[in-house]
Amino acid sequence: MSQKKRTLDAARKDKGFLASGLAPWAGFGVTLRTFFEKPVTEQYPFKGKYPPPFPRYHGRHQLNRYPDGLEKCVGCELCAWACPADAIFVEAAPNTADQRFSAGERYGRVYQINYLRCIFCGMCIEACPTRALTMTTFFELAAQQRADMIFTKDQLLAPLEEGQLAAPHPMVEGLTAGDYYAGRVIGPTPAQAKWVEQHRPVDPAASSPGPAATKGGPA
């Protein structure tokens, strides 16, 4: 007889025959106690409001911007390589003097996430070197057509905040991509706003020049 079996037999003797016999039925007490309780049914989304998810909940992805409006994604495709479900497709294109969308050499011209494949593991977030891709707490992902569950860059890109300029536009004058990665840009400059006004006068973002917004660098 093994030591483990001798220990179990000794424990049963200590508890007594009655306690040992009723122990397997203790779990049914929970079932009987809740069997006659009134069920709680949330009529979501037709009535009431669903409790907000936890702050670290893995929901829909978001492509982030720098404070001046340039995109953080540099089209490196590391997120697509890291995805275990092959749910991400990225196609990069080079930035030019007249068409600069990011602070890097390239930008994500095409960015797609297939939410029929995505398992919300967050490995793409860990792989992103510029913190361009993060996950929001938005969870209402449903559609009647399979094609509608493939989100494109327009759907994933973060909306412009107050003062930001829509890309494309030049980087902050005198700064490099490394300055952007280091967080030295805190907003658009008048020179950037002037460039947008000259090249895209109908752009609504061109009407907000913003401050000379850098920290630790030239304005």
Residue 71 vs residue 11, higher pLDDT:
71
Residue 77 counted as domain residue: yes
**pLDDT category, 216, cuts 50, 70, 90?**
very low
Q: Which of 137, 156, 175 is at the close of a domain?
A: 156
Residue 119 vs residue 207, higher pLDDT:
119
Residue 115 vs residue 215, higher pLDDT:
115
Residue 44 counted as domain residue: no
Q: Which domain holds residue 11?
A: 3-35
Half-sphere exposure of 59 (CA within 13 A, CB side): 15
Mean pLDDT of 80-88: 97
pTM of the entire predicted model? 0.73
pLDDT in the model for residue 114:
97
Ranges 29-33, 96-100, 132-136: which has the least confidence: 29-33
**16 has pLDDT over 70:** no
Quote the CA–CA distance of 198 and 83 in Å, as a whole number.
41
CATH number for the domain harbouring residue 152:
3.30.70.3270
- Please state the domain count of the chain: 2
Top-confidence range, 29-33, 41-45, 104-108: 104-108
Neighbours of 171 (CB within 10 A): 20
